């Protein structure tokens, strides 16, 4: 015998309400799982394409929330270095440092051809280590990557609107006067 119930009861036997509820919960969880995994895939790439590419060559793709960007500021990221000067005469000191950075970066070059980015970054980092009062001076003034609204408004206004690869400033904030070198930004 396959069951403890007599054969005539198979047709009239009702499903256990607990089993029905369990099945509904399992189906719901499975649909949520399979439906939500697509939300975390990089935008514009299919799962099949991702599986074909080796992981080590894929660049990280930031999570894009789409609908929620309008409410939470939309994922603008930037990378910058800065030099912070405090006290009286901070703006004048920033101007001197700025001139020194460009003098060092342009050494032996025609200024009309522009500045080599690596030389500008190197000169900026040297001056940050030498003059900046911010703890980031130990890393050449590097602030790493940050999003809109993570810095004071005066700083954000420069980093997210002004030209990349140019020394900006002095920019006055509650902390003092800054020179800012924008290295990268999401457009």
Per residue in 36-92, pLDDT (tens digit) is 555 555 554 444 444 544 444 444 555 555 455 545 555 689 999 999 999 999 999
Summarize the confidence of residues 156-179 as an average pLDDT. 95
Summarize the confidence of residues 141-170 as an average pLDDT. 94
Structure tokens at 176: 């003092």
């Amino acid at each position: 015998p396959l069951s403890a119930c007599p054969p005539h009861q198979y047709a009239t036997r009702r499903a256990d309400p607990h089993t029905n509820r369990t099945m509904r919960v399992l189906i719901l969880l499975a649909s949520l799982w399979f439906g939500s995994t697509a939300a975390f895939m990089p935008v514009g790439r299919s799962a099949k394409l991702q599986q074909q590419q080796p992981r080590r060559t894929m660049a990280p793709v930031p999570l894009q929330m789409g609908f929620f960007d309008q409410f939470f500021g939309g994922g603008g990221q930037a990378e910058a270095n800065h030099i912070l000067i405090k006290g009286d005469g901070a703006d004048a000191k920033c101007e001197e440092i700025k001139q020194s950075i460009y003098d060092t970066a342009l050494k032996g070059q025609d200024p009309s051809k522009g500045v080599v980015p690596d030389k500008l970054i190197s000169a900026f980092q040297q001056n940050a280590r030498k003059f900046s009062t911010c703890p980031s001076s130990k890393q050449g003034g590097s602030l790493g990557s940050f999003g809109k609204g993570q810095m004071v408004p005066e700083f954000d206004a420069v980093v997210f609107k002004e030209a990349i690869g140019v020394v900006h400033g002095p920019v006055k904030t509650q902390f003092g006067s800054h020179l800012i070198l924008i290295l990268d930004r999401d457009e």
